Structure 1
Amino acid sequence: MNRKIIPALLASAVTASACTIPTDPLDNNIAYPFRAQVQNATRPEVHNKYMNLFEAGGGDRHLFIGPVGVPTYDLTLVDGVINHVPDGVRAVIGGEIDHTTKMFMTGRGDPRAIFKPTYACNPDTDALQIELRFVTWQDQPTGGHICVRSSFEESHEFRYYPPGNTLVDPNRECIKVTLVVIPTTDLPPQTSTTLSTSTIPATSTTTTSTRTSTATSTPSSAPFVDLTSSGFRFVGCAPEERWTTDGAFRTLPDASTSTDTNTNAACAAFCTAGGFKYAGTEWSRECWCGKAVVATRWPATTLASLEGCNFRCTGDEGEICGGDARLSLYEKCDSGEACENVVFT
């Protein structure tokens, strides 16, 4: 057979088997409740999983695909923005900027993530479906895409990948995904949900319009690790830019790494090798270093201030490595001085 004919035959076969795409454009509002499904048929670790909401400080909801977070069955779309009305939050992009930018849900005025509902064919079943195609980050140029990258407890967090991005972290691939609308009426009934046990608040409760999920855990990890024998003292749980209004970027901006074997001692060693005075762990797997701490970010010395650092380290679940945009902060002791951890009251 003529080789030039084969591609045409394959294309016609695909066309013949594909679902029929309606020509009428979809409205930018979806009033019926739905779940957001993630699709990337080439990546089975994330394909056909669902977006979960994870309660964070200040009323924010972070976005994960399992096992972290609470399944959410009552999302809506308002002017192209994913909303969760029961919590009064919407999808935005901002904070925790490195090679990508975090997508999360909040009631604040952060730049909103804008999507366009579009008909498409399901890659597995060829059934007609509605995709939420990413358009722009509010007030930013159009382009880029939504991706998910590995996080704690074998979960994946949602990120925004900017157009023309050439910075790639080989240790934390961000997998491009498509978001798909799955009407709640198309899903089997659920009788219970669970929250992640990777954080250690005393009690947390998340409520949606259709179900309530409560998780209670007892702190099993000390809020910090004693590294004084290694020449570092613990000084507290320091906020990152999302919890402050000082206009600064990273609390420790000079160097960073991210690994599946992260511990506070490993982070301190990494920062020491770079000649930095401060080391901080965050989001279980991240390590940040600095020559100094942004003055407005110096942590408080109350016991309550430690509650924001509650994520277990990827390299040792018996340790705490920061939290949601919060650093477990360590300072290198000066030569000749007593090396003692800060006392919290």
Structure 2
Amino acid sequence: MLTQLPSLLLTLLLLLTTPLLTHAQVANETITPENSVNAKISPGNKKYEYIGCYAETTLNNGTNGLRALNAGKTESVDTLTVASCLDFCSADGYEFAGAEYTKECWCSHFLSSIAEKLDDSACDLACIGNTTQICGGALKLSVYTLKSSKKGAAGKVARTAPVGSILALGIAMGVLLCLA
């Protein structure tokens, strides 16, 4: 039974993360960097402020497809604006909101520590719902954080999910499955 525990834990982890990985970007998007030249970075709203352009982590080795803003919620809509994305994330109190690929909104309590901060110009696609605003790029996120997330002069908080907590949850679930 103990020799099967790693296999059971891996299976459990895959079952828990598969729904997060099924969302894919569509290649036939009509908004391009060329027709996004007049789009500008939105500073945010009363609750959220812009902290930069970040690379997605799905293609990084060792991430198993996990995203820069993971373990939260997402939507893909043909009317996305920065304001609608921030409202979507704010409704459930998410600390981070990210607009990506013109019409995707990602919400999370954590920004992955391996998400590379890029030059703002790397986020070069306009929002599909407001072409005067930037909504990330191909595998790039325009990231916003709650203004209450500041820690004094240290600036914004960019946390990652505690690995120990995730591992403990996985082990507990595996043990429960073995006992069932």
Range of TM-score over shorter length: 0.5 to 0.7
Distance 1:218 1:298, change over 3 A: closer
In structure 2, C-alpha distance between the alignment counterparts of 1:256 and 1:246, rounded to whole Å = 22
Sort the Cα spacing of 1:280 and 1:101 in 2 relative to 1 into closer, same or farther, 3 A.
closer
Judge conservation of contact 1:238–1:329 (CA < 8 Å) in 2: yes
Could you tell me which of 32, 40, 43 is aligned with 1:198? 32
Q: 1:234 aligns with which of 36, 43, 50?
A: 50
Q: Secondary structure at the match of 2:99?
A: strand
Cα deviation code 1:87-106 (max 9, x no counterpart): xxxxxxxxxx743656xxxx
Partner of 1:269: 87
Count of residues in correspondence between the two structures: 133
Cα offset, 1:292, TM superposition: 1.0
- The 5-angstrom pairing of residues 1-345 of structure 1 reads 98-99=21-22, 101=24, 152-153=29-30, 198-200=32-34, 219-222=37-40, 224-227=41-44, 229-242=45-58, 244-245=60-61, 247=63, 249-253=66-70, 254-297=72-115, 299-300=117-118, 305-334=119-148
Cα separation, 2, equivalents of 1:273 and 1:334: 15
Larger radius of gyration: 1
1:239–1:335 distance in 2 versus 1, CA, 3 Å: closer
What are the superposed Cα offsets for residues 205-244 of structure 1, whole Å, 9 maximum, x if unpaired? xxxxxxxxxxxx783122x1021x4221111111112453
Assess if the C-alpha contact under 8 Å between 1:243 and 1:325 holds in 2. no
Match of 2:172 in 1: none
TM-score by length of 1: 0.34
Moved over 4 A (4+): 335-338
Give, as a single letter, the amino acid of the residue that structure 1 aligns with 2:22. Answer: H
Deviation per residue, 1:175-232 (Å, 9 max, x gap): xxxxxxxxxxxxxxxxxxxxxx7214xxxxxxxxxxxxxxxx783122x1021x4221
User: Separation in 2 of the partners of 1:324 and 1:236?
Assistant: 15
What is the Cα deviation at residue 152 of structure 1?
3.0
Q: Quick check: 1:255–1:289 contact (8 Å CA) kept in 2?
A: yes
TM-score, structure 2 normalization: 0.63
Percent identical pairs in the alignment equals 25
CA–CA distance in structure 1, aligned partners of residues 89 and 69 of structure 2: 11
Change (3 A) 1:278 1:152: same
Post-superposition offset of 1:308: 2.0
Displacement, 1:311?
A: 1.1
Q: Relative to 1, partners in 2 of residues 1:218 and 1:292: Cα closer, same or farther, differing over 3 Å?
A: closer
Counterpart secondary structure, 2:124 = coil
Letter in 1 for 2:122: G
What is the rounded CA distance, in whole Å, between the counterparts of 1:218 and 1:276 in structure 2? 28
Query: What is the rounded CA distance, in whole Å, between the counterparts of 1:289 and 1:218 in structure 2?
Result: 24
Higher RCO (CA-CA < 8 Å; seq separation 6+): 2
Counterpart residue type for residue 226 of structure 1: P
